[in-house]
Structure 1
């Protein structure tokens, strides 16, 4: 991108832009409820995330516009000799900047942040219905080494 991307912790004023990005794709439009005012569940989740020192909700900005988001969760494990790992979730970019490198910069930023926090591993998942996302993460060095399972409650 020609314009500099800046990263920062999200604040509650960013929530509308974040939910709009989460809802702006085929899968997100089926599970998110982007409306004005936002459902209180988003505010409650935002406050829980931002009050937890092992969670960071990061926004990418061009000027004052929020153009990307990701959540990074830092998790201690007994495996790997008590090592920490970072899990990246909810990565989205605004339609106005897709294909312009914002997603790449978000993930690189998250990897650097994980290193700063002493993590030995960065992990993420992507829906099997998103083959382009899988290729994107593989280009950034991620490997599909495990089979992920989920149980919807």
Structure 2
């Protein structure tokens, strides 16, 4: 994986990121790759927040993965800082190549570097393959999550 570059996303990466977010049955229902306006506005907000790390994995000049790492200071757990991994997507041609493992390892290492005591993530209940992947990397399904659409 020495030919892999993990770096902060740049504005020109937005189309590739959105295409990966939309490239599955769940994402196809939620994402609109034909209108990048809301994604561009969100990118600008993320870029201004030092606790947000929107990352891409690049191989041979092509974006092949993305994830967002959020650092969350808190009072619970004796004032622990935690990180949240979200929006993990690996390009279809790269699945099974070890890229997902490398990317999550990067996020865990960065969380340690940022002083986090806990790394958490959520995954849609229907993504059973992703659940097995995260469990293989040492994550445990320890909570039940709830959402309220606004």
Number of aligned residue pairs? 150
TM-score, normalised with respect to structure 2: 0.97
Matched residues in 2 for 1:101 and 1:25: separation?
20
Local SS of the residue matching 1:56: strand
Matched residues in 2 for 1:106 and 1:57: separation?
12
Matched residues in 2 for 1:4 and 1:116: separation?
23
Query: What residue is the counterpart of 1:67 in the other structure?
Result: 64
CA RMSD of aligned residues (A): 1.0
Matched residues in 2 for 1:27 and 1:13: separation?
24
Q: Does 1:40 align with 2:24?
A: no
TM-score, normalised with respect to structure 1: 0.95
Query: What residue is the counterpart of 2:29 in the other structure?
Result: 30
**What stretches of structure 2 of length at least 5 have no aligned partner?**
none
Matched residues in 2 for 1:148 and 1:108: separation?
23
Query: What residue is the counterpart of 1:11 in the other structure?
Result: 10
Show CA shifts across 1:117-138 (max 9, x none). 0000000000001000000000
Query: What residue is the counterpart of 2:143 in the other structure?
Result: 146
Matched residues in 1 for 2:103 and 2:72: separation?
20
Query: What residue is the counterpart of 2:97 in the other structure?
Result: 100
Show CA shifts across 1:24-80 (max 9, x none). 011000000011xx3311100011011100000010011211100000000011011
Does structure 1 retain, via aligned residues, the 8 Å contact 2:15–2:36?
Answer: no
Shift of 1:6: 1.2
